[in-house]
Amino acid sequence: MTKLSNSLAAADIAHSLHPYTNARAHERNGPIIMARGAGVHVYDSEGKEYIEGLAGLWSVAVGFSEPRLAEAAARQMAELPFYHTFAGKANEPAIRLAEKLVEMTPDPLTRVFFTNSGSEANDTVVKLVWFMMNAQGRPKKKKFLSRHKGYHGITVASGSLTGLPVNHRDFDLPAIPVVHLTCPHHWRFGHPGESEAAFTARLLREAEETILAEDPDTIAAFIGEPVMGAGGVIVPPEGYWEGIEALCRRYDILIVADEVINGFGRLGTTFGCERMGFTPDILVTSKQLTSSYMPLAAVVMTEAIYDVIADHSDKLGTLGHGFTASGHPVATAVGLENLKIIEERDLVGNAARLAPSFQNGLRAFADLPLVGEVRGMGLIAAIELVADKATKRSFDPLGRVGARAAAFAAEEGLICRALGDTLALCPPLIVTDADIARIIARMGRAITRTGDWAKAEGLV
């Protein structure tokens, strides 16, 4: 390592606490310090080039170092670097972006509330739904339905909605009334010999039985990612979302589409709910909204929900919720320019066009001894590694093999994410056929190396 890299690494170890990181292991191993990015590539402090196969964190749609986004931020910084949106204040970029989001989202969605992150956005959903139910004189209707392996954030309310043990354990979560339903992953959770159609029917029966057992008058909303991301890139089976929507309409339960990962083209459609065939009452988006160049998220809701909230704010004198940076002018200016780029370069269409080569190329690994399942949709996919293909038995302890595979991938010049022993890929939407071929080749070498390592370790 260079002298500068050594100095930075030592300072990081001495002073930083990293998210989603084993802190003691980090002290031993030190960081990979990223120095710059260009297009689909990032470069560490030693000059090593990587294909960013996860688009940062499922989020950099237009690639790294896009000059138009830097210029949009600089222009807005020079004109109005900050102003809040409390007490009726507004700024042009936030107004224009809200207008654009209403234009892009499904027709019933007409009102926008800005936050800084997807976690804050889903916390905001919880609070606004509770506010709405109290306004309507339904104080018991406060529970949320979510799903095991769903990911909705890490703040207290959004972390409660999340259905992953690592996000609950020793954080005293869930801390709000939420019921987690079976994860809609047929390969992992289907019964022996159970068809996908029978699995879907069973999950819909479970959902309805849960609603009736809990009492529909106590359940406010169902929240779900159209295609689940951090829980392992799980594509629900055909008919699942249509069935969930029908149940929610039957029992007067709001539908919240968490589009933080799916939104703005990831599945080859502008939003995942369009691809999966349902219409939400509330849609949450972040990440690709600004390609994560600036922190920004948005809650987009129907006029009917807005009317209840607006009337109650009039009764109480205010809506007692918001963030200093809600509708931040620089973040919203970057968001506007980012959405222009996505449209001008037809990146949604690019995702749809390249999805077959991406998905089929990765599915070629399904015959490898270590690979249990390859799954995905559009430009998001996952490869689940197992100890025994026939029984689908996972490795014990979970995560050791996945971490080793991700490390091998990094050595091969590909960044992916290990979710336990599942390797996730979600490249920037600007990828080309040539980029996809390189991603698949590097991933193939990493999996082969992982198989050799697992044999040497006596794990298979």
Domains and CATH numbers, the chain: 32-62+346-456 (3.90.1150.10), 68-344 (3.40.640.10)
Place of tokens 């939400």: 280
Determine the Cα–Cα distance for residues 299 and 121; give it in Å rounded to an integer: 6
Query: Looking at residue 2, what is its pLDDT?
Result: 75
Nearest by Cα to 286 from 255, 263, 268, 265: 263
Relative to beta strand 109-115, strand 371-377 is unpaired
Torsions phi, psi of 247, nearest 5? -65, -45
Query: Looking at residue 5, what is its pLDDT?
Result: 75
Tell me the three state secondary structure of residue 176.
Answer: coil
Cis-peptide into 216, omega within 30 deg: no
Q: For the chain, which residues score pLDDT lower than 50?
A: none
Relative to beta strand 414-415, strand 49-52 is parallel
Query: Looking at residue 6, what is its pLDDT?
Result: 86
**DSSP per-residue letters across 53-101:** TTHHHHT-TT-BS-HHHHHHHHHHHHH-S----GGG---HHHHHHHHHH
Torsions phi, psi of 144, nearest 5? -115, 145
Determine the Cα–Cα distance for residues 153 and 23; give it in Å rounded to an integer: 20
Query: Looking at residue 160, what is its pLDDT?
Result: 98
Cis-peptide into 397, omega within 30 deg: yes
Query: Looking at residue 1, what is its pLDDT?
Result: 61
Residue-wise pLDDT for 128-167, tens only, equals 999 999 999 999 999 999 999 999 999 999 999 999 999 9
Written as six digits, the tokens of 270 are: 């502008």
